[in-house]
Amino acid sequence: MNTEDRMRRFIEKQDNLDAVYWLTQGLSYREIGEKIGRPHSFIQRVNNFLKNHGLSAGGQWRIDVNAMRMTKTFRFYDYSSDRPKEVVENEDFLTYFADIKMGKSGHFVMFTFPNEVKTKVGEDISPYYYNIPQFKAPLLNNDLKLADFNTVYKSENNESPLPPRGEAITPDILHIEIARYVELFGIPDNDKSTGDDVNFSKLVEIIKEDMEVEKLSTDVTYDIVRNRYNEMLKKNIIYPGFGIQMRRLGYILSFCWINSKEIYRIIKAFSHFNVVCALAYTQTKNKYLLHLQYPGNKEIEIFDILNYLDPQNEIFKVFRVQDNNTLPHPYYFEKERERKR
């Protein structure tokens, strides 16, 4: 059986999709097994399948950079084989660079600037907050039509299903390091282990190595790292993202600028149809950047729904992601060096 056949069979089984959903919620194998009535060894096999077939994409946990005294911005650029000069000049703060199609080809770029940086590029935008559906099998063959969507939409309310925004802290270099590696490797909680390679002991070791490489005499111990991490988790600075590479399962990734007073009702309705939504807040009231991942065979239906919800919406599709980085950590290494001089 080839890889394509194995993945098709995988997404046709409800038990597999149930396990995937709870893995995205950060539960342990044993906790998930109890929820879906399967042994924890089954959950481990599902997680291994995701890793072995390139479906684990990272980003399972996200960081509220606004709560860490940073500002996320975005800007569009005309397509060019070379990176725009402005992007190159702000490379240290570049956190997302994608080739897109929005009428014509272009680039969608996001930066993350520490608040003390006076000259920032682009318009302010919040981090993404995900609403992950409890996937239904068969994954790609749901009955998504405008009439069906509208029925579900009317049955939902407009209460937010998204995680709360983070409480502000003044980050030190250890907060930055923890945030960096949580986005890369996931949560290092030994009590909630899902088989990932990085636990607290390993995280402490990695941070110590970074401090040595950067020649920083920063005190790094298990207790200090764990206390910083617990603080970030308690204050919702670390929150669930979505770490499944849906493109390999026949999904398409699009962004949509949308105006709505009932945005939460929209994303909750989409979740009934196996559509993954992420929401970013803009500086304009009731205007949002909606990040959609949906089955490729439902694209026309998705566009019909978005046009119905907001006839003035603007959709752009992502064809290639060139950069998808975490925090601008080199800036903070240099800041720490200056502080210790």
How many Å apart are CA 9 and CA 260, to the nearest integer?
38
Q: Quick check: 40 and 231 in contact, CB under 8 A?
A: no
pTM: 0.88
Q: Quick check: 195 and 186 in contact, CB under 8 A?
A: no
- Cα dist from 127 to 216, 228, 256, whole Å: 30, 21, 15
End-to-end, the C-alpha distance of the chain in Å comes to 61
Question: Closest Cα to residue 135, out of 244, 20, 27?
Answer: 20
Q: Quick check: 187 and 238 in contact, CB under 8 A?
A: yes
Peptide bond into 311 cis (omega under 30): no
How many Å apart are CA 57 and CA 69, to the nearest integer?
27
Note down pLDDT in tens along the chain; length 341 residues.
788 888 889 999 999 999 999 988 888 889 999 999 999 899 999 999 998 998 887 668 899 999 999 999 999 999 988 899 999 999 999 999 999 988 888 999 999 999 999 999 999 999 999 999 999 998 988 788 999 999 999 999 999 999 899 999 999 999 999 999 998 888 775 444 444 456 888 899 999 999 999 998 889 999 999 999 999 999 999 998 888 889 888 999 899 999 999 999 999 999 999 999 999 999 999 999 999 999 999 999 999 999 999 999 999 988 888 877 778 888 999 998 888 77
Q: Quick check: 182 and 63 in contact, CB under 8 A?
A: yes
